[in-house]
Amino acid sequence: MTAIPPRRRSWVRPACAAVPLLACVTSSAWAQAEAGPGTTLHAARASAPIVLDGRLDEPGWQAAPVASGFLQRDPDQGQPATEATELRLLFDDHALYVGARLHDREAGRIVRQLSRRDALAEADTFTLYLDPHRDRRTGAVLQVSAAGVQRDAAIYDDNFEDDSWDAVWESAVAIDAEGWSVEMRVPFSQLRFPTAPGHAWGVNARRVVHRKNESSWLVLVPKNESGLASRMTGLEGIDGIEPGRHLELLPYVSGRAEFVAPATEADPWNDGSRLYGGAGLDFKYGVGSGMALVGAVNPDFGQVEVDPAVVNLTAFETFFEEKRPFFTEGSQVFLRFGRSGASDYTTYFYPEPLLFYSRRIGRAPQGGATGDSVDAPTATTILGAAKLVGRTKGGWNLGLLEAVTGSEAARVATGVERSDFEVEPLTNYFVGRAQRALGARASIGFIGTSVVRDLDTPYLDSLLVGQAFLGGVDGHVFLDGRRDWVVSGGLAGSTVSGSRASILRLQRAAQRYYQRPDAPHVSVDPDATSLAGWSGRLAINKNSGNVTFNAALWNISPGFEPNDIGYATQTDRGGAHASVLFRKLTPDAWTRSRRLAVVKWWTFNYGRECQGDGVTLISSAQLRNYWQFDLTVGKSWNTWDDKLTRGGPTTIRPGIENLNLVATSDARRRVWVSAAAQLSNREFGARSRQYSATLNLRPFSALTLSAIPTVLDSHVVAQYLATVPDATATQTYGARYVFGALDQTEVSIPLRVNFVLSPRLSLQLYTQALLSNGDYPQIRELAAPRTYDFPVYGEDLGTIARDPELPFYTIDPDGAGDARSFRIAVPDFNFKSLRVNAVLRWEFRPGSAAYVVWTQRRQNSANPGDHAFGHDLSDLFGTPADDVFMVKLAWWLGR
């Protein structure tokens, strides 16, 4: 039986309902006071060279001013730290020196777990925060653990840290009966600051005593308030230094051996083994006092961890995180469009478009080739790339990126003929981003992107657009002097142009489905040679306090298209949400902290039809013994779904009830675990059950093992399979929309091993086994638009028969009627994958590293629809493996 169709709703109505609430909460924000900046620190000029050995025994340290009086943030906020910390700062013409004495009455219990650089380890740490520009929005984070492991990060938008920033600096630690001490040498060439006779920087420091779960700060950053760069105290006394221009070079050489099974026995392009060699150069050049030009010529990313295997049954591509160092470092300047000012950015069922998705650069070729044997490149060669990032004298935070990827061709063999077939054109990518503070309470930003392709072949001209441009403006305004209440948002527009065939492809693509027969607000224009649209979001946030608030309105027009250099899965959508978070971050008799958020959300299409309507409750609590429990409960009501049929008529979207529960033990222990359950039930019988566990083991400080086994069991009532034109299907606009009931079982077992021999020498192993089986017991079709009725072939209508020799079904949809029979491939699947990635990294001098890498892949699709865990595992390990070995040496030249 079909559920009652949802009524037509206007997306303006819930937005208007939120206005009185926003007005009420805003009116009290103006009365809040601004936090004080703390006591000013002074740095002294070093009278003699400092030897970095972790011991503060040089005369310069004894004469330097001492900063102390750290206050707890955890566990007892505002109370004096239980262990004393002393901070001293020195400088010379070339570097800043940091000396910290960290007293500990139980020095034998200092935690010193080894880890790779930038990895979060279970260890005692000391962290220095700097704001050389004193703009209270940006800065640098420099951390050293008691094991001597470094971590550095860039502060952006006042509240957030970007770990991708890697500076070249030195440190040393020493442990004695009274605690431990740390020395750092930070070259001024690694910091950006303006030219001036004297410098007033921002500074803060944090210490973590791991066994006590205690963090203490020189200038307290309260848990229930926002701000990091804006909460630093002043650092004075650094005079007579120049930022200067600096040049860093990182040339590399590499060799790679591939042992990959040929596509066919007579594959002329691959006899099972291939050898490659390469060389390239990364460079960084200081431009003025606040800018850096970073470039790469023929960059190599062979040491980067492989992407996990996935089974994707949606119409949209899988999103993978960027892992390549050239693109991750400094990436924050290009990201967070429309998010500035807010300390907690939340979205609920908002398919936020990513305006810059760096994995488009160097992606796998978008074209394909056919033949008896095809040797197609797996990635597009990046001929060169450069980015200019930093801060101008006028106060603009600027980021410019330019990259050129080469034309790629697949080698094709058909019989005795050999040919090259172009599968990716020569392409130029550009991204520009600029942001500037407007006083203490506001900022404005701009973004622009372009993609220009050299389309010489008719095949690629029909597949890809020749030009794609995007521009946007964003910013925020604080409503009170305390920077607590903030209104933020952004507006972006896009335009793409190309051949009629390429624009027609975009109109019919999964993001928009202009061909929908019952969507009068969109239509296909076969003669169009361009496409344009816009997206935007406006939000209000309360950043601090035990009760916080967030609400937003957003919109993505049908013609918005950022995917040539961005990432977007949905258009033709608008929506709103409002959430209230109640939190108490101070301990009581049972817990250390607890949170409860209540959220209401809606989504609509441009036809003013509701596409989502639900409520979510999110709660969490950390007990006194440091166990953590998280519970999320959600419910949505049935609405319309204009994309289930992938270009066909609208159906009902069934209501859903879901529950997610996570329990995590004390992560400070050598063995700790986390267990999670995600349960959902949909109307009409669909359900999903996913169970996972995280198992972490640290047998000794140098070795960490982590496994995350996950089991998925789901039943889908209507999984889209095909659209079959049929003039007799008058109820569904002349086409039959074929679906299948799907029973899917999936087991995934990722495993990580980190063996750290020293802070500069480590071995990292990542493996992922994936077994995913899908059985379609029933094949069915949509009965009528705006229903959720799917009669089954062979039971409710027509006939269905499987070909005894080929994997096809022959379907006659109306038996003896006028409809013609058709065939579809049997959709059952049994996907088995094993991926292994091992990286040995040795930083033999600061900034210079050698890598030895082994990557293995196995993949098997035998026995579709038949699930037997032991048999599938045996098939997987019996599958021939593809192995790749690589050696890379990169030498840093600079100072």
pLDDT in tens, 189-207: 888 887 777 788 999 999 9
pLDDT (mean) for 741-765: 93
**Phi and psi dihedrals of 708, rounded to 5?**
-130, 75
CA dihedral 35, 36, 40, 41 (to 10 degrees): -40
Kindly report each contact of residues 44-50 with a partner whose C-beta sits within 8 Å and lies 24 or more positions away, as own/partner.
44/89, 44/90, 44/91, 44/237, 45/90, 45/91, 45/92, 45/237, 45/240, 46/90, 46/91, 46/92, 46/97, 50/90, 50/97, 50/183, 50/185
Q: Which of 128, 136, 139 is nearest to 97 (CA)?
A: 128
User: Can you give the pLDDT at residue 353?
Assistant: 94
CATH number at 183 reads 2.60.40.1190
Buried residues in 95-133 as b, exposed as e (16+ CB within 10 A)? bbbbbbbbebeeeeebbbbbbbbebebbbbbbbbbbbbb
| Sign of the alpha-carbon dihedral angle for 319, 321, 324, 327 | positive
User: Can you give the pLDDT at residue 83?
Assistant: 96
CB 688 within 8 A of CB 680: yes
Residue 207 lies in a domain: yes
Residue 103 lies in a domain: yes
How many angstroms separate the CA atoms of 605 and 8, rounded? 11
pLDDT in tens, 344-402: 777 888 999 999 999 999 999 999 998 888 888 889 999 999 999 888 888 888 999 99
pLDDT (mean) for 241-257: 84
Of residues 16 and 732, the one with the higher pLDDT is: 732
pLDDT (mean) for 801-811: 93
The CB density around residue 584, as the number of other CB atoms within 10 Å, is 17
CA dihedral 731, 737, 741, 746 (to 10 degrees): -150
- Backbone conformation region of residue 685, classed left if phi is above 0, alpha if psi is from -120 to 50, else beta: left
User: Can you give the pLDDT at residue 17?
Assistant: 38
**Phi and psi dihedrals of 14, rounded to 5?**
-65, -30
Confidence of residue 312 (pLDDT cuts 50, 70, 90): confident
How many angstroms separate the CA atoms of 142 and 154, rounded? 9
pLDDT in tens, 420-474: 999 999 999 999 999 998 988 899 999 999 999 999 999 999 999 999 999 999 9
Strand pairing category for 85-91 and 44-45: parallel
Residue 143 lies in a domain: yes
Strand pairing category for 651-653 and 639-641: antiparallel
The CB density around residue 568, as the number of other CB atoms within 10 Å, is 20
Residue 528 lies in a domain: no
User: Can you give the pLDDT at residue 504?
Assistant: 97
Residue 535 lies in a domain: no
pLDDT (mean) for 236-263: 83
User: Can you give the pLDDT at residue 244?
Assistant: 60
Q: Which of 658, 751, 746 is nearest to 710 (CA)?
A: 746
One DSSP character per residue, 58-72 reads: SHHHHHS--B---EE
CB 768 within 8 A of CB 834: yes
Kindly report the three-state secondary structure assignment for every residue of 570-627.
CCCEEEEEEEEEEEECCCCCCEEEEEEEEEEEEEECCCCCEEEEEEEEEEEEEECCCC
Helix (H, G, I), strand (E, B) or coil at 727: coil
* Residues above pLDDT 90, as percent of the chain: 64
Task: Please identify which residue in the block is written with the tokens 């004075």.
Answer: 236
How many angstroms separate the CA atoms of 889 and 281, rounded? 11
pLDDT (mean) for 97-116: 92
| 38, 779, 809 from 800: Cα distances, Å | 77, 8, 7
Beta bridge partners of 391: 397
CA dihedral 476, 159, 136, 440 (to 10 degrees): 20
Buried residues in 672-690 as b, exposed as e (16+ CB within 10 A)? bebebebebebbbebebeb
pLDDT (mean) for 18-25: 35
Query: What's at 676, amino acid-wise?
Result: A
CB 753 within 8 A of CB 705: yes
Q: How many CA atoms lie within 13 Å of 322's alpha carbon, on the beta-carbon side?
A: 23
Residue 50 lies in a domain: yes
How many angstroms separate the CA atoms of 145 and 639, rounded? 52
Task: Please identify which residue in the block is written with the tokens 């040049």.
Answer: 247
How many angstroms separate the CA atoms of 49 and 55, rounded? 14
How many angstroms separate the CA atoms of 458 and 703, rounded? 55
Helix (H, G, I), strand (E, B) or coil at 495: strand
CB 629 within 8 A of CB 662: yes
How many angstroms separate the CA atoms of 407 and 385, rounded? 15
Of residues 664 and 225, the one with the higher pLDDT is: 664
Q: What is the mean pLDDT of the chain?
A: 89
Residue 291 lies in a domain: no
Q: Which domain holds residue 46?
A: 32-239
pLDDT (mean) for 642-669: 95
User: Can you give the pLDDT at residue 359?
Assistant: 93
How many angstroms separate the CA atoms of 532 and 525, rounded? 13
Residue 273 has pLDDT above 90, yes or no: no
Q: How many CA atoms lie within 13 Å of 787's alpha carbon, on the beta-carbon side?
A: 13
Task: Please identify which residue in the block is written with the tokens 């973004």.
Answer: 447
Residue 21 has pLDDT above 60, yes or no: no
User: In this structure, what token pair is assigned to residue 711?
Assistant: 């089991």
Residue 152 lies in a domain: yes
**In sequence order, what are the residues at sequence separation of 6 or more whose Cβ sits closer than 8 angstroms to the Cβ of residue 859?**
309, 831, 832, 833, 834, 879
Residue 19 has pLDDT above 70, yes or no: no
How many angstroms separate the CA atoms of 236 and 199, rounded? 6
User: Can you give the pLDDT at residue 245?
Assistant: 64
Cis peptide before 75 (omega within 30 of 0): yes
Task: Please identify which residue in the block is written with the tokens 């088995």.
Answer: 832
pLDDT (mean) for 49-57: 92
Helix (H) or strand (E) holding 781: strand 761-781
Q: Which of 535, 452, 546, 468 is nearest to 506 (CA)?
A: 468
Confidence of residue 895 (pLDDT cuts 50, 70, 90): low
CB 195 within 8 A of CB 289: yes
**Strands, E, within 701-760: which ranges?**
703-707, 710-725, 735-758
pLDDT in tens, 500-523: 999 999 999 999 999 999 999 999
Domain count, the chain: 1
| 11, 402, 445 from 565: Cα distances, Å | 30, 12, 19
Q: Which of 212, 113, 225, 219 is nearest to 592 (CA)?
A: 212
pLDDT in tens, 577-602: 999 999 988 888 899 899 999 999 99
Task: Give the gyration radius of the chain's Cα atoms.
Answer: 30
The CB density around residue 734, as the number of other CB atoms within 10 Å, is 12
How many angstroms separate the CA atoms of 649 and 42, rounded? 70
Residues for the chain: how many in total? Answer: 895
pLDDT (mean) for 298-307: 79
**In sequence order, what are the residues at sequence separation of 6 or more whose Cβ sits closer than 8 angstroms to the Cβ of residue 713?**
688, 689, 690, 744, 745
- Backbone conformation region of residue 213, classed left if phi is above 0, alpha if psi is from -120 to 50, else beta: left
DSSP 875: H
How many angstroms separate the CA atoms of 119 and 127, rounded? 14
Residue 169 has pLDDT above 70, yes or no: yes
Residue 22 has pLDDT above 70, yes or no: no
User: In this structure, what token pair is assigned to residue 695?
Assistant: 């198992």
CB 673 within 8 A of CB 697: no
Q: Which of 484, 478, 576 is nearest to 19 (CA)?
A: 576
Beta bridge partners of 88: 99
User: Can you give the pLDDT at residue 346?
Assistant: 78
